[in-house]
Amino acid sequence: MAFSERVDRLKSSLIREILAAAQRPDVMSFAGGLPAESMLPKVDWAPMPTGLGQYGMSEGEPALREAIAVQARALGIDCSASQVLIVSGSQQTLDLASKLFIDRGTEVLLEAPTYLAALQAFQLFGAECLAVAQEDDGPSLAALRERLERHRPAFAYLIPTFQNPSAVRYSEYKRDAVAALLDEFGVTLIEDEPYRELVFDEGSARPIVSRLQKASWIYTGTVSKTLLPGLRVGYLIATPDLFPYLLRLKQSADLHTNRIGQWQALQWLGSEQYSTHLDALRCFYRQGRDAMQSALQLHFSDLADWQSPQGGLFFWLRLKKPVDTRALLDQALAQNVVFMPGEPFFVDPDQNLGYLRLNFSHVAPDRLAEGVRRLAGVIRNASMVEAA
Amino acid sequence: MAFSERVDRLKSSLIREILAAAQRPDVMSFAGGLPAESMLPKVDWAPMPTGLGQYGMSEGEPALREAIAVQARALGIDCSASQVLIVSGSQQTLDLASKLFIDRGTEVLLEAPTYLAALQAFQLFGAECLAVAQEDDGPSLAALRERLERHRPAFAYLIPTFQNPSAVRYSEYKRDAVAALLDEFGVTLIEDEPYRELVFDEGSARPIVSRLQKASWIYTGTVSKTLLPGLRVGYLIATPDLFPYLLRLKQSADLHTNRIGQWQALQWLGSEQYSTHLDALRCFYRQGRDAMQSALQLHFSDLADWQSPQGGLFFWLRLKKPVDTRALLDQALAQNVVFMPGEPFFVDPDQNLGYLRLNFSHVAPDRLAEGVRRLAGVIRNASMVEAA
């Protein structure tokens, strides 16, 4: 069978295997990134008009595009509804952007670590990925400037607010500095913000795209983390030089996003009901974050360093004695606990050993401490074996 | 801005412009392919479980995959649910297959004419498209053999049942012969069947994939033509050598298809309610077909040749005096009538002048004759200008 050369770059199914193992009812999973089942809002479908069953526009529903533009302008993003494209979950933005920009060997710039599925999507299309080290308050500016001076990336893909996996939130200073650098070098920004609304503590958040003066940009968001991921409704907003291409690529990919989910999203966006739901969600996840922080302080203080996340769904641990955490999965599973190894979130996994991503939204708070204790045991054991 | 070289192959927006014009309330449109608004079934969302709002599996909902496998086996396709992948409308199958098979210059084999959006998707990925002339009962077997002897296409993309645009239904004989040829040359078949259930007259229909002995295949279908296109739910069934790659490409494209639409599709597939609805749909479209046939006989007998379609949503007209029908759009619009030029459905449009695709499901039967009369006037006028 002669496949495309692209297929050689389809990644192994490690993540799929981990998530499959996480489905076992006896397993405590810190691996996934699923919203808490108990916090999925009850939605009403009864008032939906039958006509929404018909084919729709590739751009998306006009009223939803308008609602998203209103929300974006409130964040400081200068845009109109004509720049909004509804997508089938924000993963599709990565697919469309890949098609728009990436040939084999095209350079793109990413944070290290970065969102795994973005890395895989860009690599599938043949991108040469340049990594910029993530610090506690955003990317290393020196490293970013050095990359921009020596390379001509087609775009920079950044997740400035509660990044998956590192949970980093860029500071106000770094948001401005990154915008200035991208303007200086004329590099397009793709800013990915799935976790913006899952915020637990005050802090800087105005999007970087709103700080750009010259560079082109794509801003992408979703209702998956705050409403219902099963709707598969996300959106992108793009500068007018990019929009027409993204629209035609969207049409070629799947004609348009399902209108049922778009209609439901529209019932919520900007409503009082949504605002109440978001408050409840933040409160619920904050408790999970606090429970995880306590458990980690108890069991991991001698094993790892971490920042307590100000938003999002993940803790990111750096082991004091780095080991390849991928090799610990089987031992963890033997203890009925599963986590996400950090290595695959890097362009060069083997040069970045000793990170773990732990989700705190799935395991019930009363079992969470026990899971963390078992996981600490696995890692302590591995460190001792290593040392022996 | 440095885009991918793929973007140079994004096609012009002629079709988008035509369909936009068709939206004008005063325009009688034979251009689109939309199901009749009045025949969209009323659906019940009330019993849907809240849990379906959660993320789902990339493969699709297990119960829906099983229902589709049952249906496919009833058509003679030897398959299990594990070979079924739910997609976001069958347009996505074209995107996934393109990713799986097509590099720049990869040869693929198509009917002439073929489905426009398929042609565009394959060309976007850089395919070299080989065309095989469509005859009244399926492709020219001599031309097909000649192509297979001289080329090594990655796949053959065929629409054997009420093809959009030509409405051709392959005969029993040609279905067998095409299967034998693909087996002989070991060429993968992609069989696209959106219109299978919209059948007005008895005739052969067993899928070609069910007749293959050795060749790999992808069979793709949708609920868009029979239930609600706005759900964006389609499916593919693939041989086990292809399935794992398609699954990973699906995951990378949009994680999974919306579960809301999948749930609704499952309520209908195989039910008595669905069977009753399909009967009503066939009866309704048969009347449209008959009305269009009468109108064409009245106004087009001296202008064009056509077959009355046995299913699907389109008539395909060949003008007796071929002119570039793209050039007639403005004159037709001046008469408040719009049609789909046939040229873009060919790999080499300029070598295939003088075809029109007319949809009969959108314009109300009582206005249909008037629209056809006006269109005939435009063409008659153009032929006279040509002759003068």
Work out the minimum CA distance from A230 to partner chain B, whole angstroms: 4
Question: In Å, what is the CA distance from B202 to each residue of B197, B279, B287?
Answer: 12, 14, 16
How near does any CA of chain A get to the CA of B53, in Å? 4
* Residue A229 to residue B54, Cβ atoms within 8 A: yes
CB contact under 8 A, B45 and A45: yes
Does residue B47 lie within any of the structural domains? no
Is A54 close to B216, i.e. CB distance below 8 A? no
**Chain A partners of B99 at a C-beta cutoff of 8 Å?**
4, 6-7, 124
B124 in contact with A at a CB cutoff of 8 Å?
yes
DSSP 8-state code for residue A211? G
Q: What is the pLDDT of residues B327-362, one digit of tens each?
A: 999 999 999 999 999 999 999 999 999 999 999 988
Q: What is the DSSP letter of A96?
A: H
Which residue reads 């299309």 in tokens?
Answer: A125
d(CA B346, CA B323): 15
Q: CATH no. for residue B200?
A: 3.40.640.10
Closest CA of chain A from B230, distance in Å: 4
Which residues in A lie closer than 8 A to residue B252 (C-beta atoms)? 10, 91, 95, 117, 120-121, 124
Domain contains B46: no
Residues in chain B within 8 Å Cβ distance of A43: 50, 53
Instruction: State the pLDDT confidence band at B12, using cuts at 50, 70 and 90.
Output: low
Are A209 and A125 within one domain? yes
CB A219 within 8 A of CB A193: yes
Which of A295-299, B48-52, B269-273 is predicted with the least confidence, judged by mean pLDDT? B48-52
Pull the structure tokens for residue A349: 């996994």
Is B115 in the same domain as B237?
A: yes
Which residues on chain A are in Cβ contact (under 8 Å) with B89? 254-255
CB pairs under 8 A between A and B: 201
In angstroms, the separation between the Cα of residue A58 and the nearest Cα of chain B is 10
Is the Cβ of B10 closer than 8 Å to some Cβ of chain A?
yes
A271, A295, A321 - which closes a domain: A271
Q: What is the pLDDT of residue B329?
A: 93
Note whether B278 and B265 are same-domain residues. Answer: no
Instruction: Kindly list the residues from chain B whose CB atom is less than 8 angstroms away from the CB atom of residue A253.
Output: 91-92, 95, 253
- B-chain residues near A10 (CB < 8 A): 245, 248-249, 252
- Residues B113, B255 within the same domain: yes
Cβ separation B260–A2 shorter than 8 A: no
* Nearest residue to B81 (alpha-carbon basis) of B93, B71, B68: B68
Please indicate if any CB of chain A lies within 8 Å of the CB of B36: no
Q: What is the ipTM of this complex?
A: 0.95
DSSP run (H or E) holding A220: strand A217-222
Taking residues B152-169, report their average pLDDT: 97
Q: How far is B299 from chain A (nearest CA, A)?
A: 31
| Tokens 């079924």 -> residue | B84
Judgement on whether residues B333 and B240 belong to the same structural domain of the protein: no
How far does A1 lie from chain B, in Å, by closest CA? 8
Contacts of B95 in chain A (CB under 8 A): 252-254
Q: CB-based contact (8 Å) between A123 and chain B?
A: no
Contact A124 B53 (CB under 8 A): no
C-alpha angle A190-A194-A197 in degrees, rounded to nearest 5: 125
Asked if the structure places residue A47 within a domain, the reply is no
Considering only CB atoms, which chain A residues are within 8 Å of B88?
88, 232, 254, 258
Q: Helix and strand tally (H, E) in chain A?
A: 11, 14
What's the rounded mean pLDDT across residues B42-60?
Answer: 92
A258/B256 CB distance under 8 A: no
- Domain end marker among A271, A306, A340: A271
- In degrees and rounded to multiples of 5, residue B353 shows phi and psi of -85, 155
Q: Residue B7 and residue A100: Cβ atoms within 8 Å?
A: yes
As a whole number of angstroms, the distance between CA B211 and CA A34 comes to 43
A232 at interface of B, judged by CB pairs closer than 8 A: yes
The answer to whether residues B355 and B319 touch, using CB atoms and an 8 Å cutoff, is: yes
Domain-embedded: residue A48: no
CA distance B386 to B382: 6
Phi/psi for A102 (5° steps) reads -105, 120
In the three-class reduction of DSSP (H, G, I as helix; E, B as strand; rest coil), residue B135 is classed as strand
For chain B, say whether A278 makes contact (Cβ under 8 Å). no
Q: How confident is the model at residue B387 (pLDDT cuts 50, 70, 90)?
A: low
Give the one of A3, A152, A154 whose C-beta lies nearest to B100's C-beta.
Answer: A3
Two tokens, residue B326: 């793209």
The string of pLDDT tens digits covering residues B121-137 is: 999 999 999 999 999 99
pLDDT over threshold 70, residue B13: no
pLDDT confidence of B34, banded at 50, 70, 90?
Answer: confident
Q: Rounded to whole angstroms, how far apart are CA atoms B133 and B353?
A: 14
Distance, in angstroms, between B157 CA and closest chain A CA?
Answer: 16
Q: What is the pLDDT of residue B8?
A: 87
Residue with tokens 């890097």: A346
- % of chain B residues with pLDDT over 90: 87
Please give the pLDDT value at position B366: 84
Is residue B353 within 8 Å of B323, Cβ to Cβ?
yes
Clarify whether residues A307 and A255 are in a common domain.
no
For chain A, percent of residues with pLDDT exceeding 70: 99
| A188 in B contact zone (CB under 8 Å) | yes
CB contact under 8 A, A252 and B3: no
Amino acid code (one letter) for A382: A
**Contact predicate A304/A356, CB 8 Å:** yes
**Secondary structure of chain A: what % helix, strand, coil (to 5)?**
45, 15, 40
Give a yes or no: residue A299 inside a domain. Answer: yes
**pLDDT for B306-319, tens place per residue?**
999 999 999 999 99
Q: How far is B106 from chain A (nearest CA, A)?
A: 8
A253 touches chain B (CB under 8 A): yes
Chain position carrying tokens 């199914």: A13
Q: State the DSSP string of B304-346.
A: EE-PPPSBSSEEEEEESS---GGGGHHHHHHTTEE-EESGGGS
Residues of A in contact with B238 (CB under 8 A): none
Of B6, B53, B245, the CB nearest to A3: B245
For residues A63 and A171, state if they share a domain. Answer: yes
Residue A184, in any domain of the structure? yes
Asked if A228 reaches chain B (Cβ–Cβ under 8 Å), the answer is yes
Averaged pLDDT, B17-34:
83
**Would you say residue A49 lies in a domain?**
no
Residues B159 and B136 in one domain: yes
Taking the alpha carbons at both ends of chain B, their separation in whole angstroms is 48
Mark whether A183 and A294 lie in a shared domain. no
Domain boundary residue, one of A271, A297, A316 = A271
**Domain residues for B280?**
5-40+274-387
B120 in contact with A at a CB cutoff of 8 Å? yes
Residues of A whose CB is below 8 A from B3: 100-101, 245
Which residue from A364, A309, A81, A355 is spatially nearest to A199, judged by alpha carbons? A309
Note whether B99 contacts A4, CB cutoff 8 Å.
yes
- Would you state the pLDDT for residue A20? 76
CA distance B345 to chain A (A): 15
A19 and A165 together in one domain: no
- Which residue of chain A has the CA closest to B87? A254
User: What's residue A385's pLDDT?
Assistant: 73
- Name the least confident of A109-118, A329-338, B198-207, B236-245: B198-207
- CA-to-CA distance for A32 and A338, rounded, in angstroms? 9
Q: What's the pLDDT at B25?
A: 82
Separation between Cα atoms, residue A125 and residue B144, nearest integer Å: 32
B367 & B230 share domain:
no
One domain, residues B335 and B286: yes
CB contact A19 to B (< 8 Å) = no
Let me know if residue A29 belongs to a domain: yes
Under an 8 A CB cutoff, do B103 and A257 touch?
no
Q: Which residues of A touch B186 (CB under 8 A)?
A: none
Identify the CATH number of the domain in which residue A324 sits.
Answer: 3.90.1150.10
Q: Is B54 close to A40, i.e. CB distance below 8 A?
A: yes
- Residue B293 to residue A356: CA distance in whole angstroms: 67
Stretches where chain A sits below pLDDT 70 are: 12-13, 386-388
Q: Which of residues 134-153 of A touch B (CB under 8 A)?
A: 152
The residue of chain A nearest to residue B242, with distances taken between CA atoms, is A1
**What's the structural domain count of chain B?**
2
Interface contact B3, partner A, CB < 8 A: yes
CB proximity A56 to B under 8 Å = yes
What is the model's pLDDT at position A35?
Answer: 87
